[in-house]
Amino acid sequence: MLKKLLLLSNSTNFGEAYLEYPKSSIQSFLGDQIRKVLFVPYAGVGVSYDEYTRKVALPFTDVDYNLEGIHTFSNPVTAVESAEAIAIGGGNTFELLNQLYRNNLLEPIRKRVEEGVPFMGWSAGSNVAGPSIKTTNDMPIIEPPSFDALNLVPFQINPHYTEERLPNHGGETRKDRLYEFIALNPDVNVVGIPEGNLLQIEGNKVKLVGEGSISIFRQGEEAKIYNSNDDLGFLMS
């Protein structure tokens, strides 16, 4: 079966309702055959899993999908094994990965996606789709057993990517940080996805959806810019 992934940079664009900008992409991605989506709220810190799930459920209901929080199941692994589709929300990437390890979910989720179950994530939920979480923007508020993540795609993701520099701020830019990663991890590509954009993946086909562009970092090269009409299949090599 072909892998199907929808990897969003962010949940909400400035001035819009929650998950408003990707609604049509979500509907197109999930299609008419799926009715239930298993939601993983583990990245939520400072908000209950119930509250987080209710928030996410509203936009999914608008496009006729029922959302079920994985935390409501007595056995999270069984929930994954029977899921029609899986969605992982944003928040803190370190806590998200920590809970995925704690609940023994990395291999079950990986297996289901390999079997063709649609997977979507935003922010931290996109971070964990890569080989590791080493290109997250988040503070390491907790130490997971490993930085190794779901490895659903062979490239690293940096959501909320921006090249803006704060006025009078002398610290490193996001680009500087990602060059540091590439210097120590030369065999892995990094995709910087600005807000309001997403990657849709089916098998080895990768499509950028959105009005912006992505930056791809490779060892020994300047970051290159790619747009929605560019062939991105090389990312899955």
Q: Is 160 noted as a catalytic residue in this protein? A: yes
- 9, 132, 138, 213: the active-site residue: 138
Q: Which of 25, 148, 160, 230 is catalytic?
A: 160
169 tagged catalytic: no
Say which amino acid occupies 57. Answer: A
Known active-site residue 82: no
List 11, 123, 132, 213, catalytic entry: 123
Say how far apart CA 207 and CA 224 lie, in whole Å. 16
Contact status, residue 53 vs residue 41, Cβ threshold 8 Å: yes
Token match 């962010």: residue?
A: 10
Give 89's contacts (C-beta < 8 A, 6+ positions apart). Answer: 11, 39, 40, 41, 43, 44, 52, 56, 121, 122, 123, 124, 125
As annotated, the active-site residues are 123, 138, 160
